């Protein structure tokens, strides 16, 4: 009897799982398999795919544009993540103090994150425009922000940070308000000043939040595409903003080398899994304070 | 660049995020759009994809009449912006999501024809064929077969000019000429300099001219294949392609490029390429807003200029080069999707578009010049009634011409030269050296 019931319950369980299972199979697992298959083929979207073995891998790893885009991507991540995390933490600290106007700023910070990145790209393109652009008008300069090889990457990174800071802030705010008041009280009674409390009490307690923010931030920065593409199509000046995602897009949908684009996507995939595992190892080794 | 991952689900998050990157290159399953019934069904919907909003309006008027004559066929149009048209078309044709009929340009049609993605324009069109512009038929004949029904013929290239600005500078635009080697024969550069003003009202040929505060530009030199550099190459006796092979780094062509780049970076009679490399409409808008005196372009901008410009303007021929005026000509065709599920209805719509009756609408509102010869008068009539003399475009097309680029892998080739051209026009890569690099990259991409 019991086993029959258990089986029925399991059946219902699977039934309830079916929709998400279908989603994962159709939109995650199946595309991965397709990309792995495509990476072994030469396909231009129109003619039938032709099996070429590992030729795509050889071509991609000899492709200087691809290697450059890996460097650009890493630079982009290094520009975005520290600033974005520090600014998010800073504004979260300010906003959790309950100062007047906090609610207003909370909304303002999050708005860019809600907006469509492509639309933001178009707006920023106008701000950065060399002739008639807002930034040059305000600064009284004549700078080509997006076509100068030295400025293009910092410019697109700034837009990216600007649009993500609100999101990061929200998580730090949640993390900060989850710290029990008695711990902070105890710290104060022990004579800890605000600076010490921040470094020695709050920051260690924020470790889970920090882990989450860093992991998601790094993943999304590695995949950054829309605003970069809108601001600097064709990889930017001398390829200085040609991050891996725009390179994949160009290879697939402008040059129609689906096989080589798939190889690049696989490289990104492996890289992201590796980075995330390393982060997880690092954070697991550290002490976390179970507050429950 | 957004993340929606839950706390704690790290490994899954990494996988999921990476997969999103992967799916970008995967293909979407085919969905048959717009077909409600088979070819014999009582209500067939035929869809037509194009990139020109003005012609879309003309098509809608045309299809209204078609539907009245063919009550069991409904025709719908889809507009895709030109900047992404050919990227998207390729994906849609591959995934089975393309429309029954879609526009293609001469540069991009070859791979579709070669891979069996298009229906041949065969004997069903024998009665319409004789009425089509012969150059258009030639341009879209590949391997002995015709692959599209000619719709638009761009005429040649000419120069729109701001009458008041030219009158004030004392410039007569009717017979200007440029010369890359002999400045004494160059009247065009001098005119462009006279028409370029800084904030103090000094012209570009004045030694005290302030190039950092220019308020009016003389000309629209930019990285514009059809309107600008192709014509300079032709007028200098150069070539862009020999068959499908790119030869634009050859001496005559390099001279032409150098001349155009100098107009921007040396003489400052055109805005810097930082404005124009990635924005093909920047100079048209600047002309319409009254910041550019001479705007070289084609019939495809006539309606835009006419609707937008709030000043007196007219049309002059392009400046003559050492080999005279050599203008690029281009034609656009409507091609039939080989995967259409209702071939008969699709061919019927195409026959209509290829008839004088069906394509007269294209010219009737002045949107573009129809490639059906008998319908062309509608275009000239429209502009004559508006008081615009559009004859320069026709004259340019009747004179010496250079045909638009072609190739089985044109998209990849263009993608290969574009970033290098960007640098050349910005003045950061020397012209000759950059052209050689771009030519090698383009030829490699074409034959890959």
Question: How high is the pLDDT of residue A99?
Answer: 83
Say whether A81 sits in a helix, a strand or coil. Answer: helix
Please give the full DSSP string across B181-230, using - where no structure is assigned: S-GGG--HHHHHHHT-EETTS-BTTSTT--TTSEEEBS---SS-IIIIIH
Residues 6+ apart with CB under 8 A from A145: A128, A130, A133, A135, A136, A151, A152, A155
Is residue B16 within a helix (H) or strand (E), and if so which, with residue range? helix B10-23
**Touching A: B residues 395-434, CB under 8 Å:** 409, 411-412, 415-416, 418-419, 422-423, 426, 428
Confidence band, pLDDT 50/70/90 cuts, at residue A119: confident
DSSP B39: T
Six-digit token pair at B24? 């970008």
**Domains, in order of start, for chain A:** 2-38 (no CATH), 63-285 (1.10.3720.10)
> Which has more confidence, A98 or A94?
A94
Nearest CA in chain A to B89: A253
Question: How high is the pLDDT of residue B18?
Answer: 41
Residues 6+ apart with CB under 8 A from B187: B175, B176, B177, B178
| A49 and chain B in contact, CB less than 8 A | no
Q: What is the pLDDT of residues B390-427, one digit of tens each?
A: 999 989 988 898 888 988 889 889 989 999 999 999 99
Question: How high is the pLDDT of residue A77?
Answer: 96
B59 close to B360: Cβ distance less than 8 angstroms: no
A136 close to A142: Cβ distance less than 8 angstroms: yes
Pick from B110, B229, B237, B185: which is nearest to A44 by CA? Answer: B110
Q: What is the pLDDT of residues B285-313, one digit of tens each?
A: 999 999 999 999 999 899 999 999 999 99
B325 close to B341: Cβ distance less than 8 angstroms: no
Beta strands in chain A (DSSP E): 41-42, 50-51
Six-digit token pair at B265? 């970076």
Using a CB-CB cut-off of 8 Å, the residues of chain B touching A268 are 18, 21
**Domains, in order of start, for chain B:** 44-155+330-375 (3.40.190.10), 158-328+404-447 (3.40.190.10)
Q: What is the pLDDT of residues A134-181, one digit of tens each?
A: 999 999 888 999 999 999 999 999 999 999 999 999 999 999 999 998
**Touching A: B residues 199-218, CB under 8 Å:** 212
Give chain B's end-to-end CA distance (angstroms, integer).
Answer: 33
B294 close to B192: Cβ distance less than 8 angstroms: yes
Measured over the CA atoms of residue A168, residue A227, residue B416 and residue A142, the dihedral's sign is: negative
Give dist(CA A167, CA A106) in Å, integer.
10
Question: How high is the pLDDT of residue A4?
Answer: 84
Burial readout A237-260 (b: 16 or more C-beta within 10 A, e: otherwise):
bbbbbbbbbbbbbbbbbbbbbbbb
Give dist(CA B192, CA B206) in Å, integer.
13
pLDDT average, residue stretch A123-144: 91
Say whether B160 sits in a helix, a strand or coil. Answer: strand
Confidence band, pLDDT 50/70/90 cuts, at residue A97: confident
Residues 6+ apart with CB under 8 A from A191: none
Confidence band, pLDDT 50/70/90 cuts, at residue B154: confident
CA of A42, closest CA in chain B: separation in Å? 11
**CB-based contact B94 A280, cutoff 8 Å:** no
pLDDT average, residue stretch A170-197: 91
Using a CB-CB cut-off of 8 Å, the residues of chain A touching B274 are 130, 144, 146-147
User: Which class for B223: exposed (0-12), middle (13-18), buried (19 or more C-beta within 10 A)?
Assistant: buried
Confidence band, pLDDT 50/70/90 cuts, at residue A287: low
Does the structure show a pLDDT above 90 at B149?
yes
């Amino acid at each position: 009897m019991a086993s029959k019931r258990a089986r029925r319950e399991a059946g219902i369980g699977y039934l309830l799982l079916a929709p998400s299972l279908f989603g994962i199979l159709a939109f995650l697992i199946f595309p991965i398999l397709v990309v792995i298959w495509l990476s072994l083929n030469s396909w231009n979207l129109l003619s039938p795919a032709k099996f070429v073995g590992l030729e795509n891998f050889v071509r991609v790893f000899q492709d200087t544009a691809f290697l450059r885009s890996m460097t650009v991507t890493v630079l982009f991540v290094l520009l975005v993540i520290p600033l974005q995390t520090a600014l998010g933490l800073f504004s979260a600290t300010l906003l959790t103090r309950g100062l007047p106007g906090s609610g207003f700023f909370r909304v303002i910070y999050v708005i860019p994150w809600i907006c469509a990145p492509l639309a933001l790209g178009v707006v920023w393109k106008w701000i950065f425009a060399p002739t008639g652009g807002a930034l040059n008008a305000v600064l009284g300069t004549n700078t080509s922000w997006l076509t100068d090889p030295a400025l293009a990457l910092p410019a697109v990174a700034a837009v990216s940070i600007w649009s993500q800071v609100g999101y990061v802030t929200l998580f730090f705010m949640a993390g900060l308000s989850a710290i029990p008041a008695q711990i902070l009280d105890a710290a104060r009674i022990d004579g800890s000043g605000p600076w010490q409390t921040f470094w020695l009490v709050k920051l260690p307690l924020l470790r889970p939040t920090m882990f989450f923010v860093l992991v998601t931030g790094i993943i999304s920065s590695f995949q950054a595409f829309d605003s970069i593409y809108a601001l600097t199509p064709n990889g930017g000046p001398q390829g200085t903003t040609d991050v891996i995602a725009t390179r994949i897009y160009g290879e697939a949908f402008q040059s129609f080398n689906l096989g080589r684009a798939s190889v690049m996507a696989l490289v990104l995939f492996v890289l992201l899994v590796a980075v995330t595992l390393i982060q997880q190892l690092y954070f697991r080794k550290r002490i976390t304070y179970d507050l429950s | 660049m957004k993340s929606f991952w839950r706390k704690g689900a790290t490994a899954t998050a990494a996988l999921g995020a990476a997969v999103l990157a992967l799916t970008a290159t995967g293909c979407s399953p085919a969905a048959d759009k717009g077909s409600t019934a088979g070819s014999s069904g009582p209500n067939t919907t035929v869809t037509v994809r194009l990139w020109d909003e003005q012609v879309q309006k003309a098509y809608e008027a045309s299809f209204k009449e078609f539907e009245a004559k063919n009550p069991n066929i409904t025709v719908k149009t889809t507009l895709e912006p030109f900047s992404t048209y050919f990227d998207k078309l390729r994906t849609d044709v591959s995934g089975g999501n393309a429309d029954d009929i879609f526009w293609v340009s001469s540069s991009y049609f070859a791979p579709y024809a070669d891979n069996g993605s298009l229906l041949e324009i065969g004997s069903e069109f024998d009665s319409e064929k004789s009425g089509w512009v012969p150059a258009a038929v030639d341009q879209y004949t590949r391997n002995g077969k015709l692959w599209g029904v000619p719709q638009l013929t761009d005429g040649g290239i000419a120069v729109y000019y701001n009458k008041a600005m030219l009158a004030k500078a004392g410039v007569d635009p009717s017979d200007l000429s440029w010369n890359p080697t002999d400045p004494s024969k160059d009247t065009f550069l001098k005119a462009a300099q006279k028409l370029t003003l800084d904030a103090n009202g000094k012209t570009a040929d004045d030694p005290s001219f302030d190039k950092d505060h220019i308020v009016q530009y003389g000309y629209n030199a930019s990285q514009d294949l059809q309107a600008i550099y192709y014509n300079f190459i032709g007028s200098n006796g150069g070539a862009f392609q020999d068959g499908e092979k790119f030869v634009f780094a050859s001496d005559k062509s390099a001279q032409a490029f150098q001349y155009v780049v100098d107009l921007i970076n040396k003489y400052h009679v055109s805005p810097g390429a930082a404005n124009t490399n990635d924005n093909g409409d920047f100079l048209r808008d600047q002309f319409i807003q009254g910041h550019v005196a001479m705007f070289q372009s084609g019939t495809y901008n006539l309606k835009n200029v006419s609707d937008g410009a709030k000043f007196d303007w007219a049309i002059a021929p392009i400046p003559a080069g050492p080999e005279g005026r050599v203008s690029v000509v281009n034609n656009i065709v409507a091609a039939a999707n080989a995967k259409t599920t209702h071939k008969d209805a699709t061919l019927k719509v195409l026959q209509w578009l290829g008839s004088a009756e069906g394509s007269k609408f294209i010219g009737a509102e002045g949107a573009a010049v129809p490639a059906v010869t008998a319908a062309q008068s509608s275009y000239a009539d429209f502009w004559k009634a508006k008081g615009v003399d559009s004859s320069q475009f026709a004259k340019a097309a009747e004179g010496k011409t250079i045909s638009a680029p072609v190739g089985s892998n044109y998209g990849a080739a263009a993608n290969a030269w574009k970033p290098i051209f960007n640098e050349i026009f910005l003045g950061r890569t020397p012209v000759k050296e950059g052209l050689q690099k771009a030519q090698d990259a383009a030829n490699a991409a074409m034959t890959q």
